[in-house]
Amino acid sequence: MEGQKTRALLGKMPEQANRLIHFLNTQTSEELATLDIRDRTGTILDIKRVLTMRTLMQNLDRKCQDMQVEIDSFTNKFTVLNQKGLPSPVGDNDRLMKHKDYIHNVNTFSVNQASASSSTSTEKALPSG
């Protein structure tokens, strides 16, 4: 995954970035020149990109966690419906069915349920209301 690659690439860079920015801001131009740093502002901006990347990765992680909570909630609700007899939305390939295919399965299920209940009861029509 790209997220894991980025996290590995970042490593401890965010902590080091803050120290480097502090160091660059406390040195004189002559001291930076001896370290072969000619553009303090450009160097600081390069370092801040690491901090921005860390923030973006944290936001991505948070969104992924939120999405997983929603997926789990949806799965739990569908499990309850499946336990009550509703057809599963998962096809033969272990992927969600297309909407039209699932609607067809649900309609077939409801027709079968209606015919099964009408054949076992004395009434021929579906109850209304």
The string of pLDDT tens digits covering residues 106-123 is 899 888 888 887 776 555
Residue 90, strand partner residues: 96
- Return the higher-pLDDT residue of 67 and 95: 67
Cβ count within 10 A of residue 47: 19
* Nearest-angstrom CA–CA distance, 95 and 92: 7
Distances (CA, A) of 91 to 47, 94, 95, 123: 49, 6, 6, 35
The string of pLDDT tens digits covering residues 72-93 is 998 898 888 888 888 888 888 8
Q: Where are the domains of the chain?
A: 2-84, 87-124
Q: Percentage of the chain with pLDDT > 90?
A: 19
Q: In this predicted structure, what is the pLDDT of residue 103?
A: 92
pLDDT range class, residue 69, cuts 50, 70, 90: very high
